[in-house]
Structure 1
Amino acid sequence: MKILYVFPHPDDESFGPAPAIAAQLRKGHEVYLLTLTKGEATRQRFRLGIGKKEMGEIRFKEMQCVQKVLGLSGMKVLDLPDSGLKELDPTDIEEVIHEHIDVIRPDVLVTYAVHGISGFEDHLVSHAVVKSVYCDRKRSGASHPRRLAFFTHFREENSSGKFDLTSSAKEEIDCWIEASEEDYQKFHDALDCYKTYQQVIEDSNVKNEVGKKVPFEIFQENFDPPLDDLTDRMKD
């Protein structure tokens, strides 16, 4: 089946979902990525002494490395304003997502959970517009996507990283995707593609924060016990 991840920035696909993406590809699913911005507003540009345009191009090249490492079925990177999605008319963002869905025709659409994990505004906007797109398509009777899922975070004890992360409640998690050793190595390799972001990766402790079981919520569906594949038990 086809799975489309929609995230706002380069590295969002690697900061957590990557072990699941690698597992999905290994199981024979087609996995696509749509990234709304080039991530050009990162503060790392000040450290490097470069402008937003050059930073965006560097991060795009880093994403091309990620595409190769994970073996994505397809990837598209848009050039909407990084850290500026909240200033856009949401229907403009929704339109480009609709267009991409029409091309890919994914069975499952995935974005951030409502809390955005880090709480970053672009993450919150992405959740809202992707959910709106999904609901619009359901109301119109569109055949795709058939399910909306939210990548999330779960940790019972306090995080050991530099950044505060928000977890979903255990009962909200509807699917845990388990990664193999090979999948988990691809997650590390994908993070290594982001040469300009290594300090952030180290500060976040993401390589230890993310385990071999990746949690997802599923919109308007509840599964107890949770599924182990986002394509299981989908309604027609």
Structure 2
Amino acid sequence: MRILYIFPHPDDESFGPAPAISAQLRQGYEVYLLTLTKGEATKQRFRLGVNKEEMGEIRYNEMKCVEKTLGLTGMEVLDMPDGELKNISPIEIEELIETHIKKIKPDILVTYAVHGISGFHDHLVTHAVVKRVFCKMKEEGGEHPKRLALFTRMGEVDLDGKFRLEASEDEDIKFIETCSEKDMQKFHDALDCYETYQEVINDSNVKNVVDNEVPFEIFGEDINNRLESISDQMDDDSD
């Protein structure tokens, strides 16, 4: 069974979802990652004295370290403009995402919940376009994808760190991936791949904020109880 995570930036897959990705790979899922930009607009480029194009290549190489560290089944990084997704026709973004979905044929899509956790515009745009593509493909009656899961946070809104971090209501959380110590170490190792981003990683305290329970909403399904796995209660569940 295949899972495709779709995020806008390098490090989005590691700032929270990485323990779940590790757990799902360990459970035998094929896990793919699609990242829409190279994250070239980060202010870290000024510290390093490089331009956006050079920064994008640096971050792409860091992502290749993440791919190896997590053991991803596959990864593709697009070159859409970092921080500018709100200024691009959503149709263009949707077409790129749909093309990739048709190539990978995932059973499950994963992206941000509606609040984007941090509220960054690129996160919000990505949520909207992935949801739109999922609904379109479901209406067309294709075999894939079968489910849209939304990575989120539990608990209260966090105002103490570098970023304001939103959370989903408890009743909206339909699955919690419980991760092992090994999964948590993979999460730390993946963050360590981002050598140029360590200042932000340390300031955000993400290694201590993220725990071994990674929550997900499930879009558009009538689910009464918490799922036992991310593919539980799916049609033709082969998990």
| TM interval, short-chain normalised | over 0.9
The amino acid of 2:182's aligned partner reads E
- Once the two structures are TM-superposed, the CA of residue 137 in structure 1 deviates from its matched residue by 0.3
1:230 alignment counterpart: 230
Distance 2:103 2:29 in 1: 17
Distance 1:156 1:52 in 2: 35
Q: Deviations over 1:196-236 (max 9, x none)?
A: 00011111111111110100000012434311321111135
- Once the two structures are TM-superposed, the CA of residue 155 in structure 1 deviates from its matched residue by 2.5
- Once the two structures are TM-superposed, the CA of residue 142 in structure 1 deviates from its matched residue by 1.0
1:107 alignment counterpart: 107
The amino acid of 1:150's aligned partner reads L
Matches within 5 A, 1:159-178: 160-178=160-178
2:90 alignment counterpart: 90
1:199 alignment counterpart: 199
* 8 A contact 1:4–1:32 mirrored in 2: yes
| Residue 212 of structure 2 corresponds to residue 212 of structure 1 | yes
Distance 1:223 1:198 in 2: 39
The amino acid of 1:204's aligned partner reads S
Q: Deviations over 1:174-209 (max 9, x none)?
A: 100011010110000000000000011111111111
Distance 2:16 2:4 in 1: 16
The amino acid of 1:147's aligned partner reads R
* 8 A contact 1:16–1:210 mirrored in 2: yes
2:184 alignment counterpart: 184
* 8 A contact 1:10–1:35 mirrored in 2: yes
2:119 alignment counterpart: 119
Cα-Cα RMSD: 1.1
Which stretch of structure 1 is more off in the superposition, 203-212 or 9-18?
203-212
Secondary structure at the residue paired with 2:143? Answer: coil
Q: Deviations over 1:29-84 (max 9, x none)?
A: 00000000000001111111110000000000000000000000000000000001
TM-score normalised by the chain length of structure 1: 0.97
Contiguous gaps of at least 5 residues in structure 2: none
- Once the two structures are TM-superposed, the CA of residue 160 in structure 1 deviates from its matched residue by 3.9
Identity between Structure 1 and Structure 2 (%): 65
Which stretch of structure 1 is more off in the superposition, 28-37 or 148-157?
148-157
Which stretch of structure 1 is more off in the superposition, 224-233 or 6-15?
224-233
* 8 A contact 1:160–1:205 mirrored in 2: no
Distance 1:32 1:150 in 2: 15
Cα distance change on mapping 1:158 and 1:101 into 2, 3 Å = closer
- Once the two structures are TM-superposed, the CA of residue 156 in structure 1 deviates from its matched residue by 3.5
- Once the two structures are TM-superposed, the CA of residue 157 in structure 1 deviates from its matched residue by 7.2
* 8 A contact 2:25–2:31 mirrored in 1: yes
The amino acid of 1:109's aligned partner reads L
- Once the two structures are TM-superposed, the CA of residue 158 in structure 1 deviates from its matched residue by 4.2
TM-score normalised by the chain length of structure 2: 0.96
1:151 alignment counterpart: 151
* 8 A contact 1:159–1:209 mirrored in 2: no
